Structure 1
């Protein structure tokens, strides 16, 4: 229902404004037909592997009764979001590998941009590190603080806040005049390629978008780093080496994911990348 309403709004914007472009062409990764088939096979295998891995985690969280606890609610939402990202971005890229036209409609392009710029993951990571902080630093208070009700409310607020964060900027971007050319030198619709195709400069929209992204990314990153600093101080005070090892192993996978995820986000969205070559933007987005 939300997808239909948002798509209809974008379609109305396109017909009500002066834009003559009704579709875009995603240039993607250039190469001969054999190269396109090879890339399709490669990314299709990675896509299936990723969906199966995240699907397995989601099914385990759903059906395994022993882990129906607040600790596993954020990872369950996280896996659903990862499957969402794959569906939004990689599925279209796979179709374009085998397509001769490589077209995407005006409304579908901005819908893809809107849902791919979701940063709900950073909020999930914050909730997960808060959960770890309570479990390690305040184990006696954990059952009374991290209740299922608090966890479900936090997850709901993450989804609602993220849905509202980028809706205005996406609609504003779609209101810019697009009269051609309509070739996007990317495998998906992203901010910089769309801004480059606009017939009128819109520095205010670009500044708002990158400022919002920078604030969300930097503030959440500072919160996570601050929480891990307190965690590290608390763990180092534990006299037992076995307990320290257990605490570090609990946080290790989460900290690795934080480094990889925020590293890519800072490279893509913390500052405008219009001066970077298109190949760099494609690689970072793919990463």
Structure 2
């Protein structure tokens, strides 16, 4: 990474949010609270699935607990660094750490895409092929699906991050963002860039649109199957179940997809930051609420856990 004077660039500067100190402090407190609450929510779902004998055997909740793991890692890849920059107004990040954040963040995002597709597949099999569901989605098959989601998620961006690491960076070294996004990084690289931007775009678009198409087709078939059902009770329950999935999918895919629709212009950087904040910090906080508040089985499992703990407390108090 040599600049035009022959010296080597060892670091970038993340501009982050350019607010006055009072607004930066408000943002710092807000995102710190949001981050803690996000961790608590997702940890609660993971623990609930692990210790509840009923939920731990259901493929949908095995997928959900892994999805919560992804959400926790995903928000941790961005928010702590953002909080540090808000508190210190520093923004300096080494080239290696910047590329590492890019790889981890986008790999976790891809893993989240694949888990949303896996959950769509689970709902498709449960509703459209109920007689064969238990055979197809056996515990072994479910854990294999989980492994595939994690592996595919972390394989996709190995080539882009390797190609970017081999580019020369001439300066300036300022990234107008609060995280290491490939777009701003590539804009600082010295020409010629070769096929690196094209390959990055191909990987990003392939992962995003393949999962979007799979989810849309899966839920489209599910909804069509439900509409043909004559059992109103099961119809209402099934729609209640998939509605929370569709809401999570819409929030995440909608915000990430919005990045492809941002027009050029001076306001592009600020709009990019706003959308990125939404899908890296807001949606990981909202998703556990959607799954828990709209899910009767989660509520029942939570009630069972609370009754069990209250019973243990009462027994210890009476001894």
d(CA) in 2 for partners of 1:128 and 1:217?
Answer: 16
TM-score with structure 2 setting the length: 0.80
Find out whether 1:61 has 2:52 as its counterpart: no
Alignment-derived partner of residue 283 in structure 1: 274
Alignment-derived partner of residue 140 in structure 1: 131
TM-score with structure 1 setting the length: 0.89
Find out whether 1:225 has 2:216 as its counterpart: yes
Measured after TM superposition, the shift of residue 72 of structure 1 is 1.1
SS of 2:218's equivalent in the other structure is: helix
Find out whether 1:72 has 2:61 as its counterpart: yes
Q: 1:201–1:284: structure 2 CA closer, same or farther, 3 Å change rule?
A: farther
Cα contact 1:214–1:271 (8 A) shared by 2: no
Deviations 1:53-103 (A, max 9, x none): 111111111222211122211111111111111111011000001114221
Cα contact 2:11–2:94 (8 A) shared by 1: yes
Find out whether 1:206 has 2:197 as its counterpart: yes
**Aligned-residue CA RMSD (Å):** 1.9
Measured after TM superposition, the shift of residue 194 of structure 1 is 0.5
Q: 1:106–1:19: structure 2 CA closer, same or farther, 3 Å change rule?
A: farther
| Structure 1, gaps ≥5 residues long | 1-13
Cα contact 2:115–2:149 (8 A) shared by 1: yes
For residue 21 of structure 1, the aligned residue among 2, 6, 9 is 9
Alignment-derived partner of residue 251 in structure 1: 242
Tell me which moved more, 87-96 or 135-144.
135-144
Measured after TM superposition, the shift of residue 226 of structure 1 is 1.2
Question: In the TM superposition, what are the counterparts of 1:192-203 in structure 2 within 5 Å?
Answer: 192-202=183-193
SS of 1:24's equivalent in the other structure is: strand
Larger radius of gyration: 2
Measured after TM superposition, the shift of residue 48 of structure 1 is 1.2
| Structure 2, gaps ≥5 residues long | 279-319
Q: 1:65–1:235: structure 2 CA closer, same or farther, 3 Å change rule?
A: same
Alignment-derived partner of residue 25 in structure 2: 37
Deviations 1:158-210 (A, max 9, x none): 21122221011101112111232111110000011101111224252111111
SS of 2:78's equivalent in the other structure is: helix
d(CA) in 2 for partners of 1:154 and 1:19?
Answer: 48
Cα contact 1:19–1:176 (8 A) shared by 2: no
Measured after TM superposition, the shift of residue 124 of structure 1 is 0.6
